[in-house]
Amino acid sequence: MCRQLGYVGPPVAVGELVVRGPHSLYVQSWAPREMRGGGTINADGFGVAWWRRAEVGVEGTRDAVTRYRNPAPIWTDPAVTEVLGQVESRAVLAAVRSATVGMPVERAACAPFVDEHWAFSHNGVVPDWRTTLALVLADLDEIPASAPGLDAPPGSLHAQGNGAVPSGSSAGAFSGGEYADAAPSAESVRIRPDAAPLFGSAAALLQAEALTDSAALWVLLRGLLGAIRPGGPVADAADAVRLLTTAALRHQPNARLNLLLGNGTQLWATTCWHALSVLVADDYTVLCSEPYDDDPRWQPVADRQLVIAGPGHCTITALELPVTERVRS
């Protein structure tokens, strides 16, 4: 399908990150190694998002996202090195695209999709996406009836930096190459029958920037992100990504859902079918569909995982919580 990359850490040249390493994202556009049956090259456009300090919304100065997209193959665009190489940012999200048969090859269909300080990319495909995502929307509309839900499932995998650590119900993380335990959290379910639905109608999917599954997924995820608030129906960005992924898998078990979300300071990702690797250094973290070099710190992420990454640290937990338990308990 596609190849994608996310970075958080000290300022880097945006263009340099895209071409970094002998197997850079740039090279992966024509010589991918781990497409897993999702095509052979990624020649249907590309996009890069980065963050800068700006006045955004009513909250004042924060990290606002900027992007550059082109529906042509990345290797045909000199702006990657000549222009983006002159831009620095503490966070980058980039993708090269292999369009699913029948979906448009156009600039509007190229990730990243953005909104204020959020940027989003999707590697994969949702079969029969128009019907499937309309059903997903209906499920997500039930979420305001309950507050953020149940304990994380036992048997999660927490892997960062130089290795992977299986656990029971506790979480862990690598920070600067060291593993540190993190106490599990438990949340109660509170019924709020008076809450308004997040979307209200499947017509909300018409807001999608392009007629693709990825653009429609962004409409749904953007709605969940907008519902984040203390005591609200969605606890945080990780909750939003998990809810969307599990809802889509409920209605379409064959969906391929490697999602990548960033806000300028943190990254969230899921693995569902397609490959993802993580590199955690002392002061930065990179998520990439395939390692761009032979650095031994690269670690593959297992299937059906949720990844949360910041500069120098990363936490990985299993995606095992059915959405029906969250919205109907």
What's 325's DSSP letter? H
Predicted model pTM? 0.83
pLDDT tens readout for residues 188-243: 333 344 568 899 999 999 999 999 999 999 999 999 999 998 888 899 999 999 99
The structure tokens listed for 69 are 């997209």
156-320-307 Cα angle (round to 5): 60
DSSP secondary structure, 135-173, as one string: HHHHHHTTGGGB-S-PPPPTT-EEEETTEEEE-SS-EEE
Alpha-carbon gap, residue 276 to 89, rounded angstroms: 23
Alpha-carbon gap, residue 68 to 2, rounded angstroms: 17
What's 307's DSSP letter? E
User: What's the residue count for the chain?
Assistant: 329
Alpha-carbon gap, residue 214 to 218, rounded angstroms: 6
The answer to whether 210 and 235 are in contact (CB under 8 A) is: no
Measure Cα distances from 5 to 8, 56, 92, 288 in Å.
11, 25, 8, 4
pLDDT tens readout for residues 270-299: 999 999 999 999 999 999 999 999 999 999
pLDDT in tens, the chain (329 residues): 699 999 999 999 999 999 999 999 999 999 888 766 666 788 999 999 999 976 656 666 678 999 999 999 999 999 999 999 999 999 999 999 999 988 999 999 999 999 989 999 999 999 999 999 999 999 999 987 654 443 333 333 333 333 333 333 334 444 443 323 333 333 333 334 456 889 999 999 999 999 999 999 999 999 999 999 888 889 999 999 999 999 999 999 999 999 999 999 999 999 999 999 999 999 999 999 999 999 999 999 999 999 999 999 999 999 975 444 343 33
